[in-house]
């Protein structure tokens, strides 16, 4: 049995996406790689799981038969669940997701399929990292991300992560010579100012297309948005315990007695 780290690779852009191919190339220098990724794009799926229909897994042929790859009909979270429980013979030492075509900084982490896979692995107690490049182009150049991906993943394998914590890593869309390094950050306070573009089909039926613009409300220089705007790779430790612990004391002062 191999003593190399076992690394589960997934994404939300689909198993043929250039971003995940880049991630596979880096991960195979660090350990034994198994890929379980969606058979079609699953962006914006959040932490959706499949419960009302069947799931399918297909082993696919690759140029390098030393890496097992599976195409999954489900969501990124489904991919992680199936990978752990149906494919892998032992628990992975690391789960990585991406490299996403587009940003998952700030509030985008809530909607992200890339990060849902990471959080699912984290729930299972597996160290996990999500990688995203701030370039939505399908043919984006990921070369400048490789050394950073390897360095971050290597540190997680060697140092581990705090219980209940995963990493959200975003890369600015810059050439390698313009990259300034890595910043450990907090998630910026930002949101989408959304609108629905109302249109009509040729048959007169209304339909809607979601549009909007991203609004950064945070002026701090310790955020992921600041880091990305200033040429740094942002690394945000993310917890999946959504309890607002700071509110518990206040809520305990409320009177819940029926009148």
Residue pLDDT, tens place only, 111-135: 888 999 999 999 999 999 999 999 9
| For residues 168-189, average pLDDT | 93
| For residues 229-252, average pLDDT | 94
Beta strand ranges found along 116-180 (DSSP E)? 128-133, 165-171
Q: What is the pLDDT of residue 34?
A: 95
Q: What is the pLDDT of residue 43?
A: 67
Q: What is the pLDDT of residue 2?
A: 63
Q: What is the pLDDT of residue 165?
A: 96
| For residues 198-213, average pLDDT | 83
Per-residue confidence band for 45, with pLDDT thresholds at 50, 70 and 90: low
Delineate the domains of the chain, giving CATH numbers in brackets: 6-188+221-251 (3.40.1210.10)
Distance CA 179, CA 186 (A): 19
3-state helix, strand, coil in the chain (%, to 5): 25, 30, 45
CA 118 from chain center: how many Å?
A: 6
Q: What is the pLDDT of residue 192?
A: 67
| Contact of 233 with 182, CB cutoff 8 Å | yes
Residue 191 burial (CB < 10 Å; 0-12/13-18/19+)? Answer: middle
pTM here is 0.89
| For residues 12-39, average pLDDT | 93
Q: What is the pLDDT of residue 147?
A: 95
Answer whether residue 35 shows pLDDT above 70.
Answer: yes
């Amino acid at each position: 049995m191999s003593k190399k780290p076992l690394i589960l690779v997934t994404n939300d852009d689909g198993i043929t996406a250039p971003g995940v191919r880049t991630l596979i190339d880096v991960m195979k220098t660090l350990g034994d790689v198994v890929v379980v990724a969606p058979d079609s794009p699953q962006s914006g799926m959040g932490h959706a799981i499949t419960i009302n229909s069947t799931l399918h897994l297909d082993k696919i042929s690759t140029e390098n038969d030393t890496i097992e790859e599976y195409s999954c009909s489900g969501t990124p979270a489904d991919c992680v669940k199936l990978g752990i429980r149906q494919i892998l013979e032992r628990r992975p030492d690391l789960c990585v997701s991406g490299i996403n075509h587009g940003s998952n900084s700030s509030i985008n982490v809530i909607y992200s399929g890339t990060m849902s896979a990471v959080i699912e692995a984290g729930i299972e107690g597996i160290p996990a990292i999500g990688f995203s490049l701030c370039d939505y182009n399908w043919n984006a150049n990921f070369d400048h991300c490789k050394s950073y991906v390897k360095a971050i993943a290597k540190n997680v394998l060697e140092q581990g992560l705090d219980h209940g914590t995963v990493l959200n890593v975003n890369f600015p869309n810059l050439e390698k010579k313009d990259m300034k390094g890595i910043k450990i950050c907090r998630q910026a306070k930002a949101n989408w100012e959304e609108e629905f573009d109302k249109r009509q089909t040729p048959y007169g039926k209304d339909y809607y297309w979601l549009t909007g613009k991203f609004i950064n409300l945070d002026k701090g220089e310790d955020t992921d948005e600041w880091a990305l705007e200033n040429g740094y790779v942002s690394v945000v430790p993310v917890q999946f315990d959504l309890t607002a612990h700071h509110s518990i004391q206040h809520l305990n002062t409320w009177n819940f007695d029926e009148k």
